[in-house]
Copies of this chain bind each other. A is one copy, B any other.
Amino acid sequence: MSERKAKPESREDYRARLRTQVMRIARDILHREGLSALQVRRVAEEAGCSVGTLYNIFGDVEGLVLAANAETLVELGEALSTVARRSAAGTLEQRLMALAIAYLDYATINRLRWKAVFEHYVADASLVEANSEHRRRLLALIEGQLTAAIDDPSTRADVARALFAAVHGIVLLALDNKLGSFDASQCEREIRFIVSLAAAKLDPR
C-alpha cells in the first residue's frame, strides 16, 4: 500500500492522463496498421473508456486523427531540425541533401504513421488551418536553408514548397512501389538529381 493516501483524481487530471494514454494507443495503431485501423471504438476499448469520453476529449474522429498526426509531424520536425543543425556548416547542396535523406529515412522507418499524415484528407478549410503550424515549421526549416540564396520571402516560400513536395513525391512513390519495387539507392539518386539542380541554380559557386 502506498504511504501517501491517494487523493481522488481530479476530472482534469483524469482527462490529461487518458489523453496521454489514448495518444500512445493511437500512435501504436498507426505504426502497426495505418490510418484505416484507427477507429474511435477500438481506441476507446483499448483505453478502457467510453466512446463518449473520447468524443469529449477529441471532438470527433477527425480530432483524434489530427492529434495523432500532429504528433508524427512534431517528431518528424525534430528529426529534421537535428539534421539541419548538424549540417549547418555545409554547402547549400549538402544541407538540402541532408534534410531530404533524413526525410526519406524517417518515412522508411515510420512508413504507416508517416503515410497517415498525408492520407488523411481534410476537406474542412478551418481544420486545414488548425494543423498549419506543424506544416509551417517543416517548411520554415527548408526556407531557413535558402535565406542566403533567395532574398524575396515569397519566392523563398515557393521554392521551399516545391522542394518539399518534389522530395515527398519521390519518397512516396518509391516506398509504395509505384514506379517498380523499392530501391533505396535509386530513390536517393532521384532525390539528388532534384536537390543538386536546385542548389546549382541557387548557390552557383
Contact = CB atoms under 8 A, between A and B. Distances in A.
Interface stretch (A11-19, A43-51, A86-94, A177-185): A177-185
B193 A179 contact: no
With most chain B CB atoms within 10 A of its CB, the pick from A132, A139, A168, A201 is A168
Interface in A146-193: 158-159, 161-162, 164-170, 172-174, 176-181, 186, 189-191, 193
A169 B179 contact: no
A7 to B, nearest CB: 45
B194 A179 contact: no
A204 B186 CA distance: 25
How many copies the complex holds: the figure is: 2
A128 B135 CA distance: 32
Interface residues of A, number: 40
Nearest to A169: B169
A11 to B, nearest CB: 36
B165 A179 contact: yes
Interface of A: 36, 118-119, 121-122, 125, 128, 132, 135, 139, 158-159, 161-162, 164-170, 172-174, 176-181, 186, 189-191, 193-194, 197-198, 200-201
